[in-house]
Amino acid sequence: MYSCFLRAIESCDHLFDIPFGSGKAVRMKYIFNAVAFFLMFFCATVSLQALERTPSVPGAEVYIISPVDGDIVGTTFTVRFGLKGMGVAPAGVDIPGTGHHHILINADELPAMDLPMPMSDKLIHFGKGQTEAELTLPEGEHRLQLILGDKLHIPHDPALISEEITITVRVGE
């Protein structure tokens, strides 16, 4: 990729040689090179992130221990995270065969599989290595699903995603 960008820069250098006077051409070349270098760095960073997925352990599984599908819970309740065949490590810690939990709450779609997962109230990270969490949700039906992420919050390859459960939140339960 780098050599490709260098060739592009060189060919544009020749373009600038023709129409501009010497001082202006040099300035334009300098600006163009700076922009090209920034673009190259940006693209390389993004493509590296896209490529560097951490392999999951074959047969590993992530699941929600509790509540279970169909449960009725109070507005504040505990979700227990289950993980078989892999270990839990905090975000940023590089130990093969590990990851940290993320919970999807009423998510419309799964996050991108080749990028760090975003943080929102629909996608909560447990980067300290938590294996359970207390959630507070409004009354009504809610969908919960777990997804494991690697040290950079990127889903493993293949991704470890739990079954989605649906629970009902009721005041006073």
Is 53 a binding residue for Cu ion by CB under 5 A? The answer is no
Stretch that binds Cu ion, among 34-42, 49-57, 145-153, 159-167 (CB under 5 A): 145-153
Closer residue to Cu ion in complex, CB, 111/149: 149
> Residue 67 or residue 99: which is nearer to Cu ion going by CB?
99
Q: Give the SS3 label for residue 66.
A: strand
| 129: enclosing H helix or E strand | none
Per-position b or e across 24-54, b if 16+ CB within 10 A of its CB: ebeebbeebeeeeeeebeeeeeeeeeeeebb
Per CB under 5 A, which of residues 119..138 are in contact with Cu ion? 125, 127
Nearer to Cu ion, 64 or 148 (CB): 148
- Total residues in contact with Cu ion, by rule CB under 5 A: 4
The two structure tokens encoding residue 58: 């074959």
Q: Which residues lie near Cu ion (CB under 5 A)?
A: 125, 127, 149, 153
